[in-house]
Structure 1
Amino acid sequence: MSVTPLRGGAAREAELLSAVLEVLRESGYDRLTVDAVAARARAGRQTVYRRWPTKADLVVAAFVNAVSAPPGIPDTGELRGDLLALMESLLDEVIRLGDVFAGLVGETRHNPELAVAMEQHYVATRRRAVLAVFERAWERGELSGSADTDLLWEVGPATLFFRAVASGETVDSELTRRIVDHIVLPLATAGRQPG
């Protein structure tokens, strides 16, 4: 699908996507309308629809635009350093957009279109980064042969999001370190034969 650029370029697009987050925080996903976003951004609704044909596309674009760029694949030379780098990137996203994420997660259960958009444009990029880190760790002999990386990649983000969003507890770099050192690494390396 080709993407229709906005008149005014990247700065205008960022302004419009910022308006989406403002309206989303005020009204929630269910009551967010393209008309409300267009009015907030002082844009025509057809301008919005040409670029983002559905509300799900628009909201996910705003969310993805607001988080840091998809995480690069860190290469510190060791699994622990790589996982800490990825978790710090995720921590930044949770601190800045945890409230938006919580609302979207609730909506994905009732809105398959939103669920697909979130999976394709947000979750998949994070999954690829973590699985690439695990793949390199396997090549270096750091992982147990029985490590279930398809499941293990979710452990850190799930713990971080639960603490921040569901329980409302403070999240910080100390928590990401504890998640890596006391949960992810022990599960990833359990039973590994010393190299």
Structure 2
Amino acid sequence: ADAQLELFYRRLGSIFSHNQRDSGAIAYLAHSLLFGAPESRGLRSFRCRLANHYGSTITSWRRNFAAGGRQLSFGRFRDVCREMKCRKEAPELWSQLDPGMSGCLSLFELDPDAVALLGHVRSRIMMVVNTDEADSEELFRRLTSHLIPAKPGQLDIAEFRQVLRNFGFGIEIADRAFTCLDYEGGNCKPP
């Protein structure tokens, strides 16, 4: 079995080697995902509650945690848990989100799937747009040059789908990304 795992890690590393990624880091990530403890039901439930309450975990982060910077302290996390009526679970949830006991959380630890999705969308857009230095207004203008948004400076879901379709994304990915980025939270109840 060890030989098969080593072969798997080498092949996985070779897949990402053309992107100048550290194959050792890729192998470590794969190993931790394969052999790490699965997420608890309570943590999955908490993420669902955040998403249902705010529209997405990303929106909950932007509304509750982003003001404190890129890291979240336990005190602020506990306050949000209290607002969501799950304060008693805060220590257990925190320990699951921060197993290394660093004392702070990032958005990636709160919802790695959403961060990976948005990172993938961003990297594809930046590859096609061919710049890392455009400001947000210039980037928006370039992305929407082929359509006229119904609201200036904003895209609705149909417009967002059209923009992402031009970058090779399907409707499902576009809808998931839109939900993550929608600060208003769509049809969800207000916080």
TM-score (norm 1): 0.33
Q: Larger relative CO (CA 8 A, sep 6+): 1 or 2?
A: 2
> Which structure shows the higher helix fraction?
1
